[in-house]
Amino acid sequence: MKVTVDEDKCCGAGSCVLLAPEVFDQREEDGIVVLLNAEPGEDQHAVVRESAAVCPGAAIEVSE
C-alpha cells in the first residue's frame, strides 16, 4: 500500500489522525495533514482505507 496526501485539499478535520495516528498527523499552525508513513504495514491498511473514505476533503489517496 502506498499513501499520498494532497495538502491543498485538506480542511484540517483531523479524522485521519484519530483513526491512524501512526500514519497521519496535523501541523500545529493550521491543522493540515502530515503524512508520517507513506507505506504503512499491513496491520494499518484497514484504518488507512477508512481514513481515506471519511476524509471530508478527499485529501488522502491510497494505491495498492
Domain count within the chain: 1
H helix intervals, 1-64? 15-19, 45-54
Domain that holds residue 31: 2-63
CATH number at residue 17: 3.30.70.20
pTM of structure: 0.94
Query: How many C-beta atoms lie closer than 10 Å to residue 52's C-beta?
Result: 19
Q: Are 58 and 24 contacting, i.e. CB atoms less than 8 angstroms apart?
A: no
The pLDDT score that the predictor gives to residue 39 is 98
For 8-55, the pLDDT digits (tens) are: 999 999 999 999 999 999 999 999 999 999 999 999 999 999 999 999
The pLDDT score that the predictor gives to residue 35 is 98
The pLDDT score that the predictor gives to residue 6 is 98
